[in-house]
Amino acid sequence: MNKKALNKLGFTLIELITVMSILGIVLFFVIPEFETFTYFSNSENSINKIILLVKKLKIKAVSENIDYFMHIDSRANKIWISNDSMEIEKLNELKQKSMTYMRIDSVELFNNIKQENEDIKIRFSKYEYSDMAFIHIQDNNNNYVTIKIEPFLSNAEIRNKYISLKDCI
């Protein structure tokens, strides 16, 4: 083999740096999306759906410049979504088609007292904030899980115990 053939077998430093830079940029945008991709068991699937719903509502409210509301009916264990522009007929239709979740024990809002067996509305504003809320869910083993929705954070938190709003103030 001659010397020119040996030089063509490898990559130059510039080529390697270019490829690594491109991979770094791609990973910078892809890694945050893995946050929403989780391996939950079936018992936690409802909790995962609520977490994803909160994240999507916060993004959707800002991108569409519309206030959205997450309605929670703890009597029927149902959650549905609405906005201000919806008519009452459409809202009732959405309530009928809403998904049923595991037992929703109660919901606490920052501006209200603990509410059980009532229809609750959590607001997701077009101005990049939401109502502070604690959704208390009881799983099949009678263990409590609290989903904490913070006003200015994009992700909701899962706590594997019952946490009251009074504990955080």
Is 2 domain-assigned?
Answer: no
Q: pLDDT tens digit string along 104-162?
A: 888 888 876 555 556 889 999 999 899 999 999 887 788 888 999 999 988 888 888 88
Contact 61, 125 (CB under 8 A): yes
List all residues 6 or more positions away from 112 whose beta carbon is below 8 Å from its beta carbon: none
Task: Give me 114's structure tokens.
Answer: 């603990």
Task: Give me 28's structure tokens.
Answer: 């910078």
Is 156 domain-assigned?
Answer: yes
Q: What is the pLDDT of residue 149?
A: 93
Strand pairing partners for 37? none
Strand pairing partners for 103? 138
Is 99 domain-assigned?
Answer: yes
Is 101 domain-assigned?
Answer: yes
- Assign 25 a pLDDT band (cuts: 50, 70, 90): very high
Integer Cα distance of 41 and 52 in angstroms:
15
CATH of the domain at 94: 3.55.40.10
Q: Indicate yes or no: pTM above 0.75.
A: no
Q: pLDDT tens digit string along 72-111?
A: 988 888 888 998 888 888 888 887 777 776 788 888 888 7
Is 133 domain-assigned?
Answer: yes
List all residues 6 or more positions away from 132 whose beta carbon is below 8 Å from its beta carbon: 109, 110, 149, 150, 151, 165
Domain that includes residue 48, residue range: 43-168
Q: What is the pLDDT of residue 129?
A: 92
Is 109 domain-assigned?
Answer: yes
Is 12 domain-assigned?
Answer: no
Domains: count for the chain: 1
- Assign 4 a pLDDT band (cuts: 50, 70, 90): low
Is 74 domain-assigned?
Answer: yes
Q: Which amino acid is at 78?
A: K
Integer Cα distance of 121 and 107 in angstroms:
10
